[in-house]
A = this chain, B = another copy of it.
């Protein structure tokens, strides 16, 4: 440990300067006008991997933004850890809400960050995190403390749905083969309460279109006689939850894994201040599935949210239109062992079945994602737990 501490003390400022340097690159994956910067960021990432001693470093082209790969195979018999991260960032707008320019990082102390923190787009999503692993790797190599093989896969499309990652993984199975994947693209409960994210909910994202009459009508002439697709859509959406806030889609809960009382108890032991949570969100009450706590509702229970709705006249003032169409984007968060493809079909069938004869309904699917939970009794989890306990002075909580 001593040599690690010595190495850190000697290099901390350089680590910080290097991180600030890559935070200056506006690698916004969603906006084509930053495509050159995204490429520049991929090259910079590759340079860093090379500089710290990774082998076979590549900037791998895809149909979209490139994926950076690098590795260090110290012993074919040792386990292999693949570090996943992403070097792209979310768009920085609305710009007027930034106190300093998003791509000009500043280090400052605030009420929430008494020890100081870096303020920049990407500092904690996900440049800060993957760079931490790169520097840990550097240190372990240089102090001869690296006990396992390491592979890096740092992609550039996380913020736009990782459209080309799946194909890349399928095409490079052998290269990416590993025993454990380490992802640091999540959060910690707080600095006094270390935690390890062991589960993420999956997703099934649908779009629905309800068509009433074949053209927009005047609500004075037709109102009351012809089904209004907005009113109908609202009724259909309202019926997707029952009074206990259970989701009514037939078969929706069939594959949901039951979580043991012990695990639920452990989850609820994590520090959580409901008053502060509500205060931060500016709400007077929370709302969710009966019989579950907030931590359980957002961790181990599936949900259904309308992410967008639109139809009719939405400009200034009043227009007495009885519109032809109404639309909504509806997504479901899934938990093990729900299958997004199966849920997609169940939703489609259920939603179409809700429609009265007076309207037509079209249901289409956007992307989905599988839920995941990793076991906390594996050697790898125990190793992470031990490492964090050493650093924080207390055992981290598993979080999902």
Residues of A bordering B, CB below 8 Å: 161, 200-201, 203, 205, 212-215, 217, 219-228, 230-235, 237-239, 241, 281-289, 294, 297-298, 301-314, 317-323, 326-329, 331, 333, 356-359, 366-367
Q: Is the CB of A357 within 8 A of B281?
A: no
Contact, CB under 8 Å: B309 / A311: yes
Would B224 and A234 count as touching, CB distance under 8 A? Answer: no
Residue ID in chain B nearest A366 by CB atoms = B318
A88 CB, min distance to chain B CBs, angstroms: 16
Q: Chain B residues near A319 (CB, 8 Å)?
A: 307-308, 329
Q: Which residues of B contact A306 (CB under 8 A)?
A: 228, 230-231, 234, 311-312
**Chain B residues positioned under 8 Å from A281 (CB to CB):** 213-215, 217, 222, 226
- B224 adjacent to A298 (CB under 8 Å): yes
8 further interface pairs, Cβ-Cβ under 8 Å (given A219-B307, A231-B305, A309-B326): A225-B286, A234-B235, A287-B356, A306-B311, A308-B312, A308-B314, A308-B319, A318-B329
B231 contacts A286, C-beta separation under 8 Å: no
Given A282-B214, A286-B227: A308 touches B305 (CB 8 Å cut-off) = no
Q: Is there contact, CB below 8 Å, between B283 and A213?
A: yes
Total identical chains:
2
Count chain B CB atoms within 10 A of each CB in A224, A307, A310 and give the residue with the most: A224
Assuming A203-B220, A317-B366, is B309 touching A230 (CB within 8 A)?
yes
In the complex, the answer to whether B214 meets A301 with C-beta atoms within 8 Å is no
CB–CB B283/A320 < 8 A: no
In the bound complex, residues from chain B placing their C-beta under 8 Å from that of A356 are 285, 287
Q: Is B288 within 8 A of A308, CB to CB?
A: no
Chain B residues with CB under 8 Å of A241's CB are: 231, 235
Give bound CA distance, A318 to B340, whole Å.
Answer: 15
Say yes or no: B307 contacts A322, CB within 8 Å. yes
User: Complex Cα distance A319/B359, Å?
Assistant: 27
Contacting pair A224 B331 (CB below 8 A) = no
Interface centre among A214, A222, A294 (most CB of B within 10 A): A222
The complex places the Cα of A203 from the Cα of B223 at a distance, in Å, of: 11
* A309-B224 in contact given A219-B331, A318-B366, A320-B205 (Cβ < 8 Å): no
**Given A282-B214, A322-B307, also A201-B227 (CB < 8 A):** no
Instruction: Please tell me if the beta carbons of A309 and B307 are within 8 angstroms of each other in the complex.
Output: no
